[in-house]
Structure 1
C-alpha cells in the first residue's frame, strides 16, 4: 500500500514496514511524480460508471485482500504471475486520460487529486516518521522509530513531497500552455533519474564486492570437456549453510540444473515438490539429492574454495580439478542423457515412498501416470511399493509380511521396499545407475530448436529424457511422428522400436503459427482500411475516450462545417442594421455628425 504514495523499497529489504514476513518488493504501484493524483482526479469526475474506474478500484481492493490477491495466481499456476503490472498500467492510463482533458473543471479535479495525494502521503509520513523508538534504554520519540534504514525513509519522503510540489507548480504555471507537455515530461524524467540513482545506490550497499563478478564470472572461466561432444550438466554444492551464486553455468557456457528463472514450463513446478524440493523463482536443489543429479545427467559439481563441504551430503562425487577459485568434483554416478528402464512404477505407488528418498528411485524405475500402467506394461515390469516409509535414521529391515499393496494393484506386478541400511541403499542405487548407463543413448546433440539422439534397444521400449515436458514439443523416431509422453511428473519420453533408432525432438510455441496468421491478417486489414479511407479523402473523426471521461457539458460538438467567409460577410453587411430599424431618419441625419452638428 505504501508504494501507492512512495517510491518502493529495494527488493528483499523492507524498510517502511519493517518486521513483517513479506520480504520481496520487486513490483510496486508507484507512478513517478504523479503518484495517485491522476487516479484521484479520475475518480472525482462526474461520470460515475466507466470500465477504467471500476477496474482500477477492483484491482486496488485485490491488492489489499489476501484471498483476492492470490486469485490471479490460483487461476493460472503455470507461470510466475506479476499481475500487479496490470494495475500500474491502468493507473497510468487513468492519469493520461485526465492529462488529456484540459477544460477548467478538469483543473479543479487535478488540484483536488494533488491535495488528496498529499493527505495520503502524510498519513504514512507522520506515524512512521514520528513513532516511538524500539530501544528500551532510550524510551523517547525518535524520527523513524524502529526502521533499519531511517535516512532511506526520509529520502523517499523527500522525493514524494518534491514530486507533489513540482506537480502543483506545473499545473499552476504551465497548464493550458504549449509548454505543458514538455515540462511534465522533463520533470517526470528527472524524478525517475533521481529515484533510479537512489535505488541502485541502496542496492549496492547490500551487494558483495564486484571483484568476484568481474574476475571469476565475467572474465574467468572453467574448462571442462565440451558439452556439445558428450552432453552433461553441472551444478554447485549447496546445503542449508552454503548458497552459491545463481546462473554461473550460463556465464561459463555449461548447462546446469541450478537456475534463477521465473519463466519455466509448468512441469518443472509439478516435479520438484514430488521429491521434496521447493521450487519458487529458482531451481536450487541441495546436494543431498544425489539421485536427482544422476537422473538429470549432472557430471560435475563445483565448490568454492572458501566453502567447507559436508561429506555425508556429497555422496558419489570425487575430486577432479581446481580452477577459477572452485574445487571441481566429478559425479561417479553420472548417467548420459536419454536412457531406458526395465521396470516402472505408477505415481500412486511412488508417492507412498518417503519423500526424502524418492530422488533415489528416479534411477530405479520410470514413474508413469496411473492410467497408463497398462500401456507401459508392454515394455517393462510394473512394481509396487511394499512396506512402510522409513526415515533416514532407521536401520531395521522391512519385512515381506508388512502391509503391501492395495486391492486394485495388479497381482502380476513385483514389489519393492526401502533398503534396510544406508549402505545397502547406496549399493542398490549404484547398481541402478549402472543399469541406466547400459541402456543410455549412443549420442545426444542439442540446438536452439530441439535435440537429436541415437539409441540401440534390445526390444521395443521407452526412452526417457530429463528435459521438461511442454505442449510445444514434437517428436520423430526414424523420421516418423511419435507421441511425446510425460513421465516422472515433468519430463519427456518417446517410444522406440527394437534396434537402432534416430530420435528428434523439436519445439514450437503452442499457437505460434496461428498467431502469425492472425497478426498478418490484422495488418492486411488495417492497411486496406487506411488505404480505403485515404482514397475517399476521409479523416478520423473519433476522439479516444471522448464519451466516457470528459465532462460532457464542457464539450462543444461541431456537427456542420462552418463557412467563416460567409459569417464575416454577413457581419459586415449588418453593421448598423439594428440602429436603422429603430429610427432610419435619425440615423441618416446623424451619421458622421459631431455633437455640434458638423
Structure 2
C-alpha cells in the first residue's frame, strides 16, 4: 500500500504543478480584481508603474508589431530600442504574449500578466523546494512564501522584476539536475533564459550561483565530479553565447553609462553612510515592507527605490530562525548567514551588481527562495521547533511598536507619535504581522499536541499572502493619481490630440512636470522622458549644460534654448482644475503662443520652430566652452556649433570662429533671432524610421549639417550617395559635411552588437548540439556507474503521513481480526474434538 501511494504522488506531479500555477495566479487575482473592476479593466498603481511600466509596454508592443526594432524616436531624444528596452521587457516571455493582441488591449493585459508571473513563480518555486521537502503540501507553502514574499509585493511597482523571480528557481533546478541527475544541456538553456530576461539581475545571479555551488559542494547529496564541474563551466559559456543576440547589444549600451562606473571607496566599502539602512533591512524581513519611495518607520532620503523587502507571509522569520537553530551545519544555513553578511557590508552587497557604487537590494529574492525552503522544512520536520523564532519575531515587532513612541523635534516643538511617516499604514501592517505571528503560535501549539497542521498552515498561508500583498498594493494605489484621469488623458489620450503628422515634417513636443511619458501613449516624440537606459551622449550633453540627468530628462522651462535646439514645436501644459481661474496663458517659453486645449492640456505652439537638420555660420571650440556654467554652455548651442580641435582643423574653414567673450551673451530677443536664422538654413524635408533618416537640404556653400539626434556608434551616413564621416559635435549630437547645391543626406542605423550577437547565438546553438552529441556515449557509461536522484530530504517525514497511518491502521485492524479468527477456530476445533 505504501508503494502504491508513492507512485500516485509521482504520477500526480504534472497536475500538482498546474495546481501550483493556478494557486499563485488566482491568489494575486483576488488582490487585483477589485481594482481592475473599479478602473474598468486597468490596473493603475502609482509612481514608476504608471510612468514607465504601462507606457513602455505600449510603446514596445507597437514597435515590435511594426518591425521598428532599430532606432526609437519616441524615447527621449531618440534611443537604441534593443539597448533601452532589454532591461525592461524585451527578453520577457510575458511581454511577447502581448504581441498577438492589438495596441489598445495592452494596458488591459498588464494585471493578467502580473498574475501569470506570480503563478509561474509559485510553480517554479514549488519545483525547486519540492526537491528538499518531503511533503508536497509543505513544499506548496514554501512556494507561496517565495512568490508572495515582501520582495514580490514591493516590486509590483517594478513590473519587470517579476519576470526574473518567476524563472529564477529554474536556474538552481538546472544546476541540481546537471550534478545529481546528470541532465546535460538544461543548465545552458537556463543560463540563456536568465541572461536574456534581464542583464542587470543576471550579474547578481552569476555571483549567487557561484556561492550556492560552493556551499553545495560540501554536501553528500551533491555529487559533483571534476568532469561535471568542467561541463557546468562549458554549459555556462554556451548559455551566455545563446543569449548574445540580446545580451551583447544591451551590454554595449550600458557600458558607457556613468551610473555603471560608480564605485565604493574607503569607509563606504565597509559601512553604510545611511544610519537606517541595516535596521530597515532587518525590519523588512520581520514586517510587511514599506512601499517604494515611501520609507515609513525609519525615514531616509536615500535608497528609496532599493527593493528592500523580504517578509514571508504568515511566518516571517519564525521558520528560518527555527531552522538556523536546529540545522546549524546545513548548506541552507550557511548560505543564509553568508547572504546576511553580504547584505550588511556595502562592498559585498555591491558584488551582486558588478561592484557598482549605487545601493540596491534587488538580489534578495535569491536567498528568499532558500528561506522559503527552510520554512517549508521547519513545518514538515517536527524536530525543528518554532519557539525561538516566535520569541525573536515578537521582540522585533515590539521594538518597532516602541519606535513609534520616539519623540521628534520640529523647531522648538517636541512631537510624540509622529515617528512614522504614514501612521495608519504602519499600524495596519503591524497589526497584520502580529495576527500572522498569532497564527504561527497556534500552529506550533497544534503541532506540539500531535495534531496534523499542514492543511491548516496552507489555508493560513494563502490568506496571509492575500492580506500582505493587498496591504502593500492598496496603500500604493492610494498614493497614485486618480485612476480614471490617468486612463483618460494618458492611455486613451491619443485619440483626443490633433497635431500635424510628424512624418511629414519632424518635430518634438514638450510636456509639463509629472507627465513625462504620456506622449508615448500618443505616439509623439518628446524631449522629456523618464527612462533610465538611454544613449550615453544624452547624459553627457545634459551634464554639460547643467541639467541633472540620472533616470529622466527633465529640463525646466528656464532652459528654453534647448527647446529651439531640439526642434520642439508644441508644449503641453497641464493645470489643476483648482488653478484654472488664475491661469495666465503664458507657459514661460519665449516664442510659444497659446493655440487651444487638447486632451485637457493647454497647448502652445513654437512660432520660431527650427526644423530638424540645420546649419550654423560659426563655431566655438570645445576647450573654450569647458569650465563655463551650464547655462552659459547651453546658450552657445543655438548660435554656434561646438567642435573639438581635430574637427576645427577639418571643418574650421567652413565657418567663422566666435570669440570667447562674444559666445555666451544671449537675450530672449537674440535667442528668437537665432532660431529664425537656423530655420532659414534647415532641411527642406526630413523622413525617418527605425533604420535611420533622410534629410534634403539646399546650401549656397559647403557646411556641416547639424541634427539633434544623439550620437551612437551604430550610425553611418552618406551625402548624395557618398559615404561621409559622422561627427560627434555639441557634446553628443551628430553632424555631417554637405556640399553646395542640393544634398540628400541619408543616415543609417544598425544596433551595435546585434549582428555579432546573432552570430554568437548561432554559434552557441551549434556548440550546444555538438556538446549533446559528443557526450551521448558518456551518459550511457555514467548511467551504469552512478545512482541518480532528483530529491534529497535529509530528514524523516514525521507528520501528516496518510499512507503510513493507513498502513499502520491496516496492520492493527487485521492483526485484531487474525486473533479473533484464531480464537474462533480454536474453539471450533475443541467443540469438534468434544463431539468426537
Q: Confirm or deny a common fold (TM above 0.5).
A: yes
Number of matched residues?
498
C-alpha distance in 2 between matches for 1:452 and 1:235: 24
Which residue, 642, 650, 655 being the options, matches 1:375?
A: 650
C-alpha distance in 1 between matches for 2:747 and 2:458: 50
Equivalent in the alignment of 1:430: 672
C-alpha distance in 2 between matches for 1:376 and 1:98: 68
Equivalent in the alignment of 1:441: 683
Equivalent in the alignment of 2:609: 334
C-alpha distance in 1 between matches for 2:445 and 2:541: 59
Equivalent in the alignment of 1:494: 736
Residue 109 of structure 1 deviates from its aligned partner by: 6.9
C-alpha distance in 1 between matches for 2:700 and 2:334: 65
**Deviation per CA, 1:167-205, whole angstroms, max 9, x where unpaired?**
677799899xxx999998876665443233222321232
C-alpha distance in 2 between matches for 1:481 and 1:450: 15
Residue 50 of structure 1 deviates from its aligned partner by: 10
Bigger drift between 342-351 and 184-193 goes to 184-193
Residue 8 of structure 1 deviates from its aligned partner by: 2.3
Equivalent in the alignment of 1:318: 593
C-alpha distance in 2 between matches for 1:129 and 1:515: 54
1:102-141 mapped onto 2 (5 Å cutoff): 111=386, 114-115=389-390, 118=393, 121-122=396-397, 124-132=399-407
C-alpha distance in 1 between matches for 2:440 and 2:768: 39
Distance 1:479 1:152, change over 3 A: same
Residue 133 of structure 1 deviates from its aligned partner by: 7.8
Which residue, 475, 488, 493 being the options, matches 1:215?
A: 488
**Deviation per CA, 1:477-519, whole angstroms, max 9, x where unpaired?**
4455544332222222334444444333344443333333333
Q: Relative contact order: is structure 1 or structure 2 higher (C-alpha 8 Å, sep ≥ 6)? A: 2
Residue 100 of structure 1 deviates from its aligned partner by: 8.7
C-alpha distance in 2 between matches for 1:55 and 1:470: 42
Distance 1:96 1:216, change over 3 A: closer
C-alpha distance in 2 between matches for 1:481 and 1:383: 30
Residue 418 of structure 1 deviates from its aligned partner by: 4.0
1:243-322 mapped onto 2 (5 Å cutoff): 243-304=513-574, 306=580, 308=583, 311=586, 313-322=588-597
C-alpha distance in 1 between matches for 2:749 and 2:319: 45
Q: Any idea what SS the aligned residue of 2:705 has?
A: strand
Distance 1:344 1:250, change over 3 A: same
C-alpha distance in 1 between matches for 2:456 and 2:766: 39
1:386-405 mapped onto 2 (5 Å cutoff): 386=661
**Mapped pair 1:28 → 2:308:** yes
Equivalent in the alignment of 1:404: none
**Deviation per CA, 1:403-453, whole angstroms, max 9, x where unpaired?**
xxxxxxxxxxxxx2544xx7xx23332332223223322222222343332
Which residue, 352, 357, 367 being the options, matches 1:91?
A: 367
Alpha-carbon contact 1:39-1:91 (below 8 Å) kept: no
Alpha-carbon contact 1:42-1:95 (below 8 Å) kept: no
C-alpha distance in 2 between matches for 1:124 and 1:283: 42
Equivalent in the alignment of 1:193: 466
Q: Any idea what SS the aligned residue of 1:456 has?
A: strand
**Deviation per CA, 1:441-479, whole angstroms, max 9, x where unpaired?**
222222234333233344443322212233343444445
Distance 1:149 1:380, change over 3 A: same
Which residue, 342, 346, 359 being the options, matches 1:59?
A: 342
C-alpha distance in 2 between matches for 1:117 and 1:485: 64
TM-score, normalisation: structure 1? 0.69
Equivalent in the alignment of 1:365: 640
Residue 25 of structure 1 deviates from its aligned partner by: 3.6
**Deviation per CA, 1:62-103, whole angstroms, max 9, x where unpaired?**
4xx5x88789999769xxx774212x1332343366479799
Equivalent in the alignment of 2:511: 236
1:392-541 mapped onto 2 (5 Å cutoff): 416-419=662-665, 425-479=667-721, 481-530=723-772, 537=780
Alpha-carbon contact 2:528-2:555 (below 8 Å) kept: yes
Which residue, 350, 355, 380 being the options, matches 2:625?
A: 350
TM-score, normalisation: structure 2? 0.51
C-alpha distance in 2 between matches for 1:197 and 1:418: 56
List alignment gaps of at least 5 residues for structure 1: 238-242, 387-415, 556-598
Which residue, 7, 10, 17 being the options, matches 2:298?
A: 17
Alpha-carbon contact 2:332-2:370 (below 8 Å) kept: no
Residue 227 of structure 1 deviates from its aligned partner by: 0.9
Residue 335 of structure 1 deviates from its aligned partner by: 0.9
C-alpha distance in 1 between matches for 2:748 and 2:444: 57
**Deviation per CA, 1:111-155, whole angstroms, max 9, x where unpaired?**
488458616733642432444587999999x7x553242231122
Residue 209 of structure 1 deviates from its aligned partner by: 2.6
Bigger drift between 152-161 and 470-479 goes to 470-479
Distance 1:162 1:224, change over 3 A: same
Alpha-carbon contact 2:636-2:663 (below 8 Å) kept: no
Q: Which has the larger radius of gyration?
A: 1
C-alpha distance in 2 between matches for 1:12 and 1:351: 36
Alpha-carbon contact 2:342-2:348 (below 8 Å) kept: no
Alpha-carbon contact 2:592-2:604 (below 8 Å) kept: yes
1:165-176 mapped onto 2 (5 Å cutoff): none
Alpha-carbon contact 1:299-1:334 (below 8 Å) kept: yes
Q: Any idea what SS the aligned residue of 1:504 has?
A: strand
Distance 1:276 1:113, change over 3 A: farther
**Deviation per CA, 1:279-327, whole angstroms, max 9, x where unpaired?**
2332221122221000001001122353735859321111222323222
Alpha-carbon contact 2:511-2:571 (below 8 Å) kept: yes
Alpha-carbon contact 1:231-1:445 (below 8 Å) kept: yes
C-alpha distance in 2 between matches for 1:188 and 1:350: 63
Alpha-carbon contact 1:477-1:503 (below 8 Å) kept: yes
C-alpha distance in 2 between matches for 1:115 and 1:163: 11
C-alpha distance in 2 between matches for 1:116 and 1:14: 26
Residue 373 of structure 1 deviates from its aligned partner by: 3.4
CA RMSD, Structure 1 to Structure 2 (Å)? 4.4
List alignment gaps of at least 5 residues for structure 2: 1-279, 797-836
Q: Any idea what SS the aligned residue of 2:298 has?
A: coil
Q: Any idea what SS the aligned residue of 1:125 has?
A: helix
C-alpha distance in 2 between matches for 1:158 and 1:182: 24
Alpha-carbon contact 1:340-1:440 (below 8 Å) kept: yes
C-alpha distance in 2 between matches for 1:314 and 1:233: 15
